[in-house]
Amino acid sequence: MKILGFNDSFVAAIVAGTKVHTIREGQRWRVGEVAHFCVRAHQPDQREFWWARPILAIQAIELTNNTMQIDGRLLAAPELLALAQADGFPTTQGLFAFFADKPLPFQGQLLHWTSCRY
């Protein structure tokens, strides 16, 4: 079982279908792997909040303090806002603030469980 852990604050958006992907550090996920959507991952009170589903696509992501690249392509401001909102943040600033404690540049994977792509 491969756990895809989330903060409680993202659960409603995932279940509602407004958060359609997630950003993860590293390169540990592969297309086709089945993700189990959990809160409080790897804790005694871990629970699945949504049914398991496969990861349909993965895009490489790199964030700096104010830019983002997907598969090596720099996103323009409108597309960056669309990505932030589809990832559960109301603003681009909210997305960058969430990653502010990570060393930059942040490199990882954008995991898709829907047909959304950038």
pLDDT of 116: 97
Contacts of 80 (CB under 8 A, 6+ apart): 68, 92
CB 113 within 8 A of CB 54: yes
Which domains does the chain carry? 2-112 (2.30.130)
pLDDT of 80: 97
Token pair in block for residue 18: 């407004």
Whole-model pTM above 0.75?
Answer: yes
Q: Per-10-residue mean pLDDT for the chain, 118 residues long?
A: 94 97 97 97 94 98 95 97 98 95 95 97
pLDDT of 1: 79
Q: H/E element holding 73?
A: strand 73-74
